[in-house]
Every structure is written in C-alpha cells, then in structure tokens.
Structure 1
Amino acid sequence: MTSPAPQVAHKRKRTRDPEGKRAAIIAAARAVFAERGFARATIREIAQRAGVTHGLVVMHFTTKERLFVAAVPGPRDLADSVAGDLEGLPGRVARAYVARMESADQADPFIALVRAAADQEAAKALLHAMRTESVVAYQELLTGPDVDVRVDMVGSFLVGVTLSRYVLADGPLAALTPEEFTGLLTDGLRGILFGAP
C-alpha cells in the first residue's frame, strides 16, 4: 500500500503595489467620510472597505485627520489656486473656494470642520492637519515672518463663511449669487493676505 502523496501548502503570493493600495485607501476614505462624516468615520472601516489592514492605513497616513485631508478635495486644489502672481492671489483663492463649495457635499473639509466643532479634540486635530497643508501651499507665494498667522486668518475667515453660507445656509451671505459672493470674498481675502483692501 502506497502512502498518500504529501500535500503541498500553496502560499498565496503577496503583491506589492503601494500606489494601488494607497489609491484604494483614499477611495474607501472618500466613501466613508461622505457617508458617515468625519466624526463617525473610523480607520478600521476604511481599511476594511479598501481591503487592507488597519496598520497599513496608519503607516500611509498616520492619523484619521491626515487621511481626511488627503482623501477629500481641498489642499491639492489650494496649491493650484495659489500658484500665479501675488496680486491675483485673493481672487484665485476666492473663485476656487466658491466653485468647490457650490457643489460640495458633507465631506468637504470646511463643512466637516464646522460639523466636528462639537467634538473639540477632533476639530482641533482636523484644523491642525488643514492648517499644515495650507501653510505649505501659501508659502510658495507669500513671504514674511507672519505667513502662518495670515494663513490661519484665511482659514478662520473661510470657516466662518462656510458656517453662514453653506452649513446654516441662512442670511445675507447665503442669498448672494456665487458671482456676488466671490467678489465680496476676494475683497476680504485681500485684506487678510495683504493687510489692506
């Protein structure tokens, strides 16, 4: 009687595709943030949807806040709108902001930040991540020792505007046409960025 042939364990070949996995994580994060909002989204659910481990998400993005900033439109658009001449900066930023916000969903960084404000720690962490990305973009064009302060003022101004026009959607700002609102926003940004209207 012959003994049965030894069973060979088939090892699944691991594929290394860091860019593909990163793209899957970002796609999953966009979906989860859009469905659940920033506060209720978890890295564990994002990892599960992306088909990766929790640890891989953390290795790529470190925190939920940084993943949010990477997954949701905002800083990359900002870098594009900041590029150009200094004089036109307020208008470019205003137009890019209004264009994005007029079609934004609940996962937009400004809307998520306003909605996360009830959880102060989450709001602080998200604001820190957004601030870091913004300062890097603006430093391509702005100079001086107070760039970080001016950028923070721009962020605070836009968060307030977001609350009034896009979250509560009530009052005179909400009633303006996008064109009227863009002009007003440009004037406000010019004052913040350059110190004079």
Structure 2
Amino acid sequence: MAAPDTDLSVPPRRTRNPELHRRAILEAAAQAFAERGYHRATLRDIARRAGVTHGSVLRHFGSKENLFLAAVPGTRDIDALAEDTQEPLASRIARGYVRRMEGADGNDTFVALLRSAADDTGSAAALYVAMQERTDAVYRRFLDAYDLEHRLPFVAALLVGVTFSRYVVRAGALAEMSAEQLTADLTASLEAVLHADPGAGSPPGEQGGGR
C-alpha cells in the first residue's frame, strides 16, 4: 500500500481568527474569574480554557486587570442604558442589573470581585475604581456634574450592597425576594437616590445650594 502524501512531521495550521480568539478568551475569563475570584484565577488557566496560548491572551488584553475589566458584564452591558431613552434611568438600571445577575446563576464576575476583596483588598479596590471610571463615562450622558459627584457613588454603593446580600452571602430579605419584587424595589430605591432633594440632608442655612 502506498504511503499517504501527508507529512506528519508538519503540525496542522491553526486557524487565525483574532476576533474568535478574543471572544473565546472573554468567555473563559468570565468563567474563571467567577469560579476562582480575581486573585486565584490565572492567565495561563484562562488561556487553557480558551484553547489559546498565554501570549495570545497578553496580546489581546495586555494584563490580567485589563482582561477582568473587559470580561465584567456590568462594564460591557451598561452601554445598553443609552439605547432606551423612553424608560426612566432608575428603571433601566434596575432591570438590566437584575436580568444580568439572575441570568448569571451566581457566576458573575462582579460577584467574583466582591469575593476576592477578602483575599486581596488592594487589587479589588483598584479594579472597583477602574470599573467605576468606565461606567461613569456612560452615566455622564444622563447625569449632570452634581449628580455624578453626589449621587452616583451612592448608586454604586447600593448595587454593591444588593450584590453582596443576594449573590455573595445569599441571606436576608434581599436574597428571599423574587426577581420581580427585587426589580420593583430596586427601581424605587434608585429613584430615591437619583431624585432626592439635594438640600434635604444639608445643615440648617445651607439648603438649596446644591446645583
């Protein structure tokens, strides 16, 4: 029988599709960060899950921090807030947040960030600030300078608290709510934060000077 023409010493060519590789890396990173947290997840493990080389991960994202920020659903999905201007902002934030978190089944990278805070507060703090800077750019389309400085930090703190109660420790009233009730109550809470009277908490004589 004649020998086949294929030269087995030559490795098969890999398909070069940068966008496909990027998507595979993001999917693998989201899974790894959700399972292991930021501190324990490694770029080599993410590369293995994605079926690419460690160097390919670095070429696409440059660092573990950049990859985490790219893989966090909250920083990608927040752009959707700009798509529906007919719905009030508080409702859009609540609906998008609950839909994302409930669909993640506890494996959201934001949850992983909160879990990682106990192991590596420095990294968690730096990532949280970087995430906030990215989301601020979107919120600037809806909020004025006063709201960005005085209200948005409390919106972020509210969402962190809800995430910790419902999706990290999974205990208490927030954990027991239905997704529909959570969306409704979160919308009301966000409305209160975003539209409170700016003079309500000011010392006597300082009311009305907010904007």
**TM-score of the pair, normalised by structure 2:** 0.74
Runs of 4+ in structure 1 off by over 4 angstroms are: 9-16
CA-to-aligned-CA distance 1:25-66 (integer Å, 9 cap, x gap): 213223322432322111122223334443432332233233
Distance in 2 of aligned mates of 1:10 and 1:184: 62
Q: CA deviation at 1:185?
A: 0.9
CA-to-aligned-CA distance 1:105-133 (integer Å, 9 cap, x gap): 44413311220111201211321232122
Q: Secondary structure at the match of 1:103?
A: helix
Counterpart code for 2:134:
E
Contiguous gaps of at least 5 residues in structure 2: 1-8, 199-211
Instruction: State the partner residue of 2:133.
Output: 132
**TM-score of the pair, normalised by structure 1:** 0.79
Instruction: State the partner residue of 1:173.
Output: 174
| Identity among equivalent pairs (%) | 48
Distance in 2 of aligned mates of 1:153 and 1:109: 21
Instruction: State the partner residue of 2:205.
Output: none
Residues 1:92 and 2:130 aligned together? no
Instruction: State the partner residue of 1:189.
Output: 190
CA contact (8 A) 1:134 1:151 kept: no
What is the RMSD computed on CA atoms of the aligned residues?
Answer: 2.9
CA contact (8 A) 1:47 1:53 kept: yes
Distance in 2 of aligned mates of 1:174 and 1:28: 28
Instruction: State the partner residue of 1:58.
Output: 58
Instruction: State the partner residue of 2:25.
Output: 25
Tell me which moved more, 87-96 or 52-61: 52-61
Contiguous gaps of at least 5 residues in structure 1: 1-8
Counterpart code for 2:170:
A
Instruction: State the partner residue of 1:122.
Output: 123
